[in-house]
């Protein structure tokens, strides 16, 4: 299990516990992750909006780095995954476009030939690693725990450009992983919706309303925690949960954990080594409920 | 009660164009429609809109356009009206462009054209294969801009006739069930075609001949109702339309042996002969065992993926969605399918029907452009040219009137309430209106279709009469006020049965073959006896048939070959 | 033939209550969900209300939620949503009030369309013939003109769920159809872009791709919204958090290869907007207490000079 590793900006900034947790989990599962330290930000959709070709060039550069190593690329951020996945879709589909983009990579000695696979850790677990193999590593099954999945838009939509033709059930992986770890997935309509983060600075009220609605719905299922493969969602759902509660005038107290943290807990890794102490909404009750 | 100078019934292209013209002239105009304007069936026109634009490097003329149309009509179109349309077409295209239609362009940024069936020159302006949709939405934009009153999702129950003149309509607000009287000094009927009289049909479920039946019932005759067009390329399975534009772009028709069979039937124009000719050819191929599963094939493979995506994207999508065929890679099974009616409410070139105050435009009208067979891309043109002209004429008529209210509003409303109440009070007869419609549609498709015989048409006529009896026993079991589909579909069925009967009787009467009316028992065109229009009037004891000479200006009848 | 199990959400206008009702019908193997619904209303339950007409995905009448997502019922095959005979759940469009059963109130939808003044405002007087316009521009607009106003995008729009003032994906895609039209006058275009840059407009889209996902005609409304954003910024409508956010984002990536989260928030809000900044203080303090605020010393990633170069080269073009 060797990957070119693209952790993304936020796991190295606003949610450092994600980076920590992935490192610990990767080691425990026997992953070799070659961190592409020179890779740039994916553009997160923001740069694409300014200039689609610029966005695709930055990502082609990253793909070329992985290609050079002969490795598939692994991300741990739904947003990075979606943005890169779409860029890759365009670059793979159109050799002429690739030639145009490669012009800008040449001075650095890079060229993207269109062979790199880009996969979120969530997809890697199900498609490459295998849930049965994962189960073998579980030391502390999450029995009796209910977890509310929250995907993040960019690993779901637009499905046409995100490999759903080949892997049509990618919109159920979070539940599959939750189940494999021994927990029960909560079902609620907000799990595939938007957390509101992208409009945080444009319309904070709406942003918080979205976060608040999904958190409340998840909380009302009786979930012990929410789990997300997207650190940007996490910034809103955890980082601003008190504000979201205030905007919606409700009580919210739902820990929001990163996907690798959930896996890590089940693998028996200490909560602190997974950064579970770094959350705004305390994860203590959740961690305590995990059977020893 | 509501009151307007002009009331337009129907909000497709013809209706909206008429309303916009009337509004421009300063009249108080309202539009009434049973569906939101952009749901109208004008949407379904795919290929384009004709005009002989002339201009630099073109040797096309309005005369050629008119001649092609006359020939396409099998010399049943009125040549004075056809001349009007062909002459005015370019200006109407420019107007559409000025309104915002994103017509395809040539390398100089000017309007581009594509080839179309039955045309001697390339003169079809288009927006990909969504021309009707592109036009309809732009016309709706103009309607919004004009800020017109739209009675949206209102169902017209009857036309008001006072002292021999049309004076408005009685209608139900479909969202509340309230019945209201809308008086108008002039009414423009633009309620579209009759597709659902046939099963299957390329037409939408809303195409139920309402406008024709409403006009027919107040004494306006319909003309050439036997002339029903079967489109050569309707998709196997759900019968969806695949544009003639595909053949215009060069697609082939092939039989099971891969032969371009049109070389036998129309050696010059091949796939781009008139629709009646192509549909008949396909029917023969299928009958004689050279089809597959009741179909022949439309072959687009040689057009290449790029052209298909850019200009035929919608039909590629339809073929994939509904027949599971990728037209880039495989020929798609198609067959002739009921598509359009050339006949309709008899009008002059200003849209005036035989009932003063009642105008008509678009498919429900018969200005007599299409005669025995409509050329592709002339229908969109007809809607804008004659929509505009009828809008103008209706305002002029309205201005000459200061109409006092005579029949009481209460009486008009009560009549309709009583009729509806009767439908609701009757016991369930053991069948639904849909069952009656299905039987009507099947028999029409069987006997009043591509090839016809005396015996078959009589059987169809008898069946329609029997179904009319059954109709009177129908029960509307939904007694709700809001969006009562059960009620509307039953009332639509009444309209369709009237139209079906008129079509059968008109077809039985015409003892020759002309245009879409192709009789196995009278296989030849007979100009001596039948170079005339069929008029049909509603009367006690069944439709009354009458005739009217065809207007010839400069193109005497010729043998028709392609 | 096969059996279809439909679970239809029915709304009774008399009692204003909704309930699910189950139906079972036989349809062709190739049938669409709409065919099954029509079969029900024609032969089983004539009181079932639904809008539909063309059955060819062109009239836009039959948009509804099928298994939770907005779709055109006529182009949704039974076999695709119920491959093994699973029950198909059918509901009216979201973000709209039901009128009866599957018929939703589209009034607010059309009001939003009207709000963007959806008609061409070309330079006048009009030429004698056509306006000269490049085919590429017309072809670009075909994407937006493909819209059949079915309302699927609005149904599943996540912003409309929390704020009814958002103009919404359909009307904004419609607006793009004019913004991108070379026949519009500069004045008209600027006026549009100015209006669309305000609250409820382009910057309120949360980029969730729901509209792109459900659009049956590949209009990709969100992409059209982004097209308008680009046009608005280029036309100088820059005094908004969206533009500041984008600028700050691009600046940090360009110079360091990665996102400088420490600067992004204050720069987006506008450094002079102290009130807005203050509102984020509690959030920031909590994060600081947990030791997770990004470092103010934002280091360049190795190779950042190449990122800068790519920006420079592409910005020049």
CATH number at residue B322: 3.90.700.10
Among chain A residues, CA nearest to C68? A189
Q: Does any domain span residue B149? A: no
> What is the rounded distance in angstroms from the CA atom of residue B30 to the CA atom of residue B253?
45
Is the pTM above the cut of 0.90?
Answer: yes
Q: Does any domain span residue B381? A: no
Question: B536 with B544: CB under 8 angstroms?
Answer: yes
Per the CB < 8 Å rule, is B434 touching C61?
no
pLDDT digits 0-9 by tens, C69-103 = 999 999 999 999 999 999 999 999 999 999 999 99
pLDDT digits 0-9 by tens, C122-139 = 999 999 999 999 999 999
pLDDT digits 0-9 by tens, C8-34 = 999 999 999 999 999 999 999 889 999
Residues of chain A with CATH 3.40.50.11810: 139-289
- pLDDT recorded at residue B240: 87
Touching chains, A (3+ CB pairs < 8 A)? C
HEC string of B147-210? CCEEEECEEEEEEEEECCEEEEEEEEECCCCCEEEEEEEEEEECCCCCHHHCCCECCCCCCCCH
Chain C CB contacts of B482 under 8 Å are: 13-14, 49, 99-100
Q: Which of A107, A194, A201 sits opposite C265 (nearest CB)?
A: A201
Does pLDDT of B403 surpass 80?
no
CATH number at residue B444: 1.20.58.100
Q: Does any domain span residue B32? A: no
Q: What is the largest CA-CA distance in chain B?
A: 69
Collapse the DSSP code of A8 into the 3-class scheme (helix H, G, I; strand E, B; otherwise coil) and give the result: coil
Comparing CA positions, the residue from B191, B200, B226 lying closest to residue B501 is: B226
Q: Is C162 on the interface with A (CB under 8 A)?
A: yes
Residue B110's φ and ψ, nearest 5 degrees, are -95, 170
Q: Is C239 on the interface with A (CB under 8 A)?
A: no
- In chain B, which among 422-441 make CB contacts under 8 A with chain C? 432-435
Per-residue pLDDT, averaged over B234-262, amounts to 93
- In chain C, which among 175-204 make CB contacts under 8 A with chain A? 199, 203-204
> What is the rounded distance in angstroms from the CA atom of residue C207 to the CA atom of residue A223?
27
ipTM: 0.96
In our burial notation (b when 16+ CB lie closer than 10 A, e otherwise), range A107-120 reads: ebebbbebebbbbb
- pLDDT recorded at residue B310: 87
| Same-domain pairing of B428 and B523 | yes
Q: How far is CA C65 from CA B77, B495, C30, C151, C161, in A?
A: 47, 32, 20, 11, 15
Q: How far is CA C157 from CA B192, C162, C166, in A?
A: 34, 9, 10
Q: Does any domain span residue B86? A: no
Q: Does any domain span residue B509? A: yes
| Same-domain pairing of B415 and B514 | yes
Q: Which of B110, B322, B478 sits opposite C132 (nearest CB)?
A: B110
Per the CB < 8 Å rule, is C141 touching B41?
no
> What is the rounded distance in angstroms from the CA atom of residue B367 to the CA atom of residue B551?
11
| Same-domain pairing of B527 and B419 | yes
Strand partners, B161: B166
- pLDDT recorded at residue B501: 98
Does pLDDT of C294 surpass 80?
no
Chain A CB contacts of C210 under 8 Å are: 153, 157, 193-194
> What is the rounded distance in angstroms from the CA atom of residue B192 to the CA atom of residue B380?
12
Q: Which two tokens stand for residue A184?
A: 């029960």
The distance in angstroms from the start CA to the end CA of chain C is 59
Collapse the DSSP code of A146 into the 3-class scheme (helix H, G, I; strand E, B; otherwise coil) and give the result: strand
* Fold held by A2-120: Glutathione S-transferase Yfyf (Class Pi); Chain A, domain 2 (1.20.1050)
Q: Which two tokens stand for residue C129?
A: 């013939």
- pLDDT recorded at residue B404: 62
Does pLDDT of C264 surpass 90?
yes
- Candidates 3.90.800.10, 3.40.50.11810, 3.30.365.10, 3.60.21.10; correct CATH number of A139-289? 3.40.50.11810
Per the CB < 8 Å rule, is A158 touching C209?
yes
Question: C196 with C232: CB under 8 angstroms?
Answer: yes
| Same-domain pairing of B420 and B527 | yes
Chain C CB contacts of B322 under 8 Å are: 30, 56, 75
> What is the rounded distance in angstroms from the CA atom of residue C209 to the CA atom of residue A171?
14
- pLDDT recorded at residue A292: 81
Q: Which of C61, C77, C119 sits opposite B144 (nearest CB)?
A: C119
Q: Does any domain span residue B81? A: no
Residue B452's φ and ψ, nearest 5 degrees, are -130, 150
- pLDDT recorded at residue C291: 85
The shortest C-alpha distance from C215 to chain A (Å) reads: 10
Q: Is C312 on the interface with A (CB under 8 A)?
A: no
Residue ending a domain, choose from B336, B358, B384: B336
Q: Which two tokens stand for residue C52?
A: 């539909």
Query: What does pLDDT average to over chain C?
Result: 96
Residue B278, H or E segment: helix B275-287
Residues of chain A with CATH 1.20.1050.140: 2-120
Give the helix ranges, DSSP H, for chain A.
16-29, 46-50, 52-69, 78-93, 95-105, 121-123, 131-137, 173-180, 204-220, 231-237, 241-248, 259-267, 284-289
Which domains does chain C possess? 2-104 (3.10.20.30), 107-234 (1.10.1060.10), 241-316 (no CATH)
Residue A38's φ and ψ, nearest 5 degrees, are -85, -10
Residue B510 designated active-site? no
> What is the rounded distance in angstroms from the CA atom of residue A244 to the CA atom of residue B69?
67
What does each of the 292 residues of chain A score in pLDDT, given as a tens digit?
Answer: 999 999 999 999 999 999 999 999 999 999 999 999 999 999 999 999 999 999 999 999 999 999 999 999 999 999 999 999 999 999 999 999 999 999 999 999 999 999 999 999 999 999 999 999 999 999 999 999 999 999 999 999 999 999 999 999 999 999 999 999 999 999 999 999 999 999 999 999 999 999 999 999 999 999 999 999 999 999 999 999 999 999 999 999 999 999 999 999 999 999 999 999 999 999 999 999 998 8
> What is the rounded distance in angstroms from the CA atom of residue A90 to the CA atom of residue A80?
16
Per the CB < 8 Å rule, is B310 touching C43?
no
Q: Does any domain span residue B39? A: no
Among chain C residues, CA nearest to B138? C119
Q: Which two tokens stand for residue B553?
A: 């200006």
Does pLDDT of B405 surpass 80?
no
Strand partners, C8: C21, C90
Per-residue pLDDT, averaged over B130-147, amounts to 97
- The total number of structural domains in chain B stands at 2
Q: Which of C262, C283, C307 sits opposite A240 (nearest CB)?
A: C283
Give the structural domain span for B478. Answer: 409-531
pLDDT digits 0-9 by tens, B500-537 = 999 999 999 999 999 999 999 999 999 999 999 999 99
Per-residue pLDDT, averaged over B188-203, amounts to 97
The shortest C-alpha distance from C14 to chain A (Å) reads: 28
How do the residues of chain A divide into helix, strand and coil, expressed in percent and rounded to 5? 55, 10, 35
- pLDDT recorded at residue B164: 94
Q: Is C304 on the interface with A (CB under 8 A)?
A: yes
Touch C-A: 3+ C-beta pairs under 8 A: yes
pLDDT digits 0-9 by tens, B412-466 = 999 999 999 999 999 999 999 999 999 999 999 999 999 999 999 999 999 999 9
Query: What does pLDDT average to over chain B?
Result: 96
Taking residue B313's Cβ as centre, other Cβ atoms within 10 Å add up to 17
Chain C CB contacts of A49 under 8 Å are: 226, 229-230, 246
- pLDDT recorded at residue C36: 98
Per-residue pLDDT, averaged over B170-185, amounts to 97
- pLDDT recorded at residue B474: 98
């Amino acid at each position: 299990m060797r990957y070119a590793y693209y952790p993304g900006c936020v796991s190295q900034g606003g949610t450092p516990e994600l980076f920590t947790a992935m490192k610990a989990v990767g080691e425990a599962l026997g992953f070799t992750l070659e961190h592409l330290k020179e890779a740039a930000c994916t553009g997160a959709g923001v740069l694409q909006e300014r200039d689609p070709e610029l966005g695709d060039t930055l990502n082609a550069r990253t793909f070329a780095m992985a290609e050079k190593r002969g490795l598939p690329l692994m991300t741990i951020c739904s947003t990075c995954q979606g943005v890169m996945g779409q860029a890759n879709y365009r670059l793979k589909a159109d050799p002429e476009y690739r030639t145009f983009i490669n012009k800008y990579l040449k001075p650095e000695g890079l060229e993207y030939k269109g062979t790199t696979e880009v996969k979120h850790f969530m997809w890697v677990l199900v498609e490459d690693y295998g849930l049965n193999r994962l189960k073998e590593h579980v030391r502390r099954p999450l029995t009796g725990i209910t977890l509310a999945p929250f995907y993040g838009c960019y690993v779901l939509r637009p499905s046409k450009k995100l490999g759903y033709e080949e892997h049509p059930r990618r919109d159920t992986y979070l539940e599959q992983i939750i189940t494999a770890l021994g927990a029960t997935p909560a079902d609620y309509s907000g799990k595939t919706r938007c957390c509101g983060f992208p409009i945080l600075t444009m319309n904070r009220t709406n942003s918080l309303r979205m976060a608040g609605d999904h958190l409340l719905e998840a909380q009302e299922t009786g979930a012990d925690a929410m789990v997300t493969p997207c650190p940007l969602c996490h910034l809103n759902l955890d980082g601003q949960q008190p504000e979201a509660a205030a905007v919606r005038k409700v009580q919210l107290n739902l820990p929001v954990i990163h996907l690798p943290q959930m896996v890590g807990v089940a693998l028996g890794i200490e909560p602190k080594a997974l950064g579970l102490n770094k959350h705004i909404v305390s994860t203590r009750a959740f961690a305590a409920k995990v059977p020893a | 009660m509501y009151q307007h100078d002009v009331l337009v019934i129907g909000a497709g292209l013809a209706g909206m164009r008429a309303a916009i013209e009337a509004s421009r002239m300063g009249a108080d105009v309202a539009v009434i429609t049973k569906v939101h304007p952009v749901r109208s069936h004008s949407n379904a026109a795919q290929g384009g809109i004709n005009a002989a634009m002339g201009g630099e490097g073109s040797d096309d003329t309005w005369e050629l356009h008119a001649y092609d149309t006359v020939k396409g009509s099998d010399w049943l179109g009125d040549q004075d009206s056809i001349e009007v349309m062909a002459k005015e077409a370019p200006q109407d295209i420019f107007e559409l462009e000025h309104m915002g239609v994103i017509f395809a362009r040539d390398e100089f940024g000017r309007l581009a054209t594509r080839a179309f069936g039955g045309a001697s020159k390339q003169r079809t302006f288009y927006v990909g294969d969504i021309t009707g949709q592109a036009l309809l939405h732009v016309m709706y934009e103009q309607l919004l801009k004009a800020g017109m009153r739209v009675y949206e999702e209102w169902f017209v129950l009857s036309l008001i006739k006072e002292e021999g003149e049309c004076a408005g309509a009685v209608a139900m607000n479909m969202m509340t069930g309230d019945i209201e009287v809308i008086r108008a000094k002039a009414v423009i009927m633009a309620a579209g075609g009759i597709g659902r009289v046939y099963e299957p049909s390329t037409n939408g479920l809303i195409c139920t001949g309402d406008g024709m039946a409403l006009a027919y019932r107040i004494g306006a005759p319909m003309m050439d109702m036997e002339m029903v067009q079967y489109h050569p390329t309707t998709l196997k399975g759900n019968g969806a339309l695949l544009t003639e534009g595909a053949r215009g772009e060069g697609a082939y028709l092939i039989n099971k042996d891969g032969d371009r069979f049109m070389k036998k039937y129309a050696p010059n124009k091949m796939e781009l002969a008139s629709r009646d000719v192509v549909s008949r050819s396909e029917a023969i191929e299928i009958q004689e065992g050279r089809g597959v599963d009741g179909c022949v094939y439309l072959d687009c493979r040689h057009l290449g993926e790029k052209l298909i995506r850019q200009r035929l994207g919608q039909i590629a999508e339809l073929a994939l969605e509904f027949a599971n065929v990728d037209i880039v890679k495989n020929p798609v099974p198609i067959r002739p399918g009921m598509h359009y009616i050339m006949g309709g409410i008899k009008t002059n070139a200003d849209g005036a029907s035989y009932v003063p105050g009642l105008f008509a435009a678009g498919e429900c009208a018969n200005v007599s452009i299409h005669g025995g067979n409509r050329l592709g891309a002339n229908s969109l043109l007809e809607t804008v040219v004659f929509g505009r002209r009828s809008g103008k004429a209706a305002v002029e008529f309205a201005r000459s009137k200061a109409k006092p209210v005579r029949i009481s509003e209460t009486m008009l409303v009560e009549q309709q309430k009583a009729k509806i109440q009767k439908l609701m009070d009757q016991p369930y007869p053991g069948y639904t209106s849909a069952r009656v419609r299905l039987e009507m549609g099947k028999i029409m498709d069987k006997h009043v279709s591509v090839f016809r015989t005396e015996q078959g048409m009589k059987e169809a006529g008898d069946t329609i009469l029997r179904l009319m009896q059954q109709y009177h026993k129908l029960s509307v079991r939904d007694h709700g006020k809001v969006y009562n589909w059960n009620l509307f579909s039953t009332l639509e069925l009444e309209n369709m049965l009237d139209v079906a009967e008129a079509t059968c009787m008109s077809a039985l009467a015409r003892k020759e073959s002309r245009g879409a009316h192709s009789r196995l028992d009278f296989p030849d065109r007979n100009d001596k006896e039948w170079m005339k229009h069929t008029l049909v009037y509603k009367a006690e004891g069944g439709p009354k048939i009458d005739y009217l000479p065809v207007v010839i200006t400069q193109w005497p009848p010729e043998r028709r070959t392609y | 033939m096969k059996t279809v199990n439909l679970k239809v959400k029915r709304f009774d206008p008399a009692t204003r209550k909704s309930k699910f009702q189950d139906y079972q019908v036989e349809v062709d193997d190739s049938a669409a969900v709409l065919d099954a619904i029509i079969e029900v209303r024609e032969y089983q339950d004539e009181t079932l209300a639904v809008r539909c007409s063309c059955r060819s995905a062109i009239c836009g009448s039959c948009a509804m939620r099928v298994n939770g997502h907005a779709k055109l019922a006529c182009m949704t095959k039974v076999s695709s949503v119920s491959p093994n005979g699973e029950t198909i759940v059918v509901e009216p469009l979201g973000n709209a009030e039901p009128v009866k059963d599957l018929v939703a109130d589209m009034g607010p939808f059309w009001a939003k369309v009207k709000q963007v003044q959806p008609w061409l405002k070309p330079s006048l007087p009009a030429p004698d013939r056509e306006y000269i316009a490049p085919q590429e521009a017309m072809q670009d607009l075909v994407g937006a003109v493909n819209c059949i106003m079915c309302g699927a995008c609005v149904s599943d729009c996540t912003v409309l769920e929390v704020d009814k003032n958002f103009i919404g994906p359909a009307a904004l895609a419609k607006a793009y159809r004019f913004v991108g039209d070379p026949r519009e006058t500069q004045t008209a275009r600027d006026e549009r872009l100015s209006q669309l840059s305000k609250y409820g407009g382009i910057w309120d889209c949360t980029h969730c791709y729901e509209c792109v996902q459900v659009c049956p005609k590949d209009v990709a409304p969100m992409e059209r919204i982004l097209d308008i954003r680009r046009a608005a910024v280029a036309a100088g409508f820059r005094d908004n958090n969206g533009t500041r956010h984008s600028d700050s984002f691009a600046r940090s990536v360009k110079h360091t290869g990665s996102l400088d989260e420490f600067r992004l928030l204050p720069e987006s809000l506008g450094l002079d907007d102290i009130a807005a900044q203050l509102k984020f203080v509690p959030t920031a303090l909590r994060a600081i207490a947990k030791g997770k605020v990004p470092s103010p010393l934002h280091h360049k990633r190795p190779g950042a000079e190449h990122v800068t170069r790519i920006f420079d080269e592409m910005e020049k073009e």
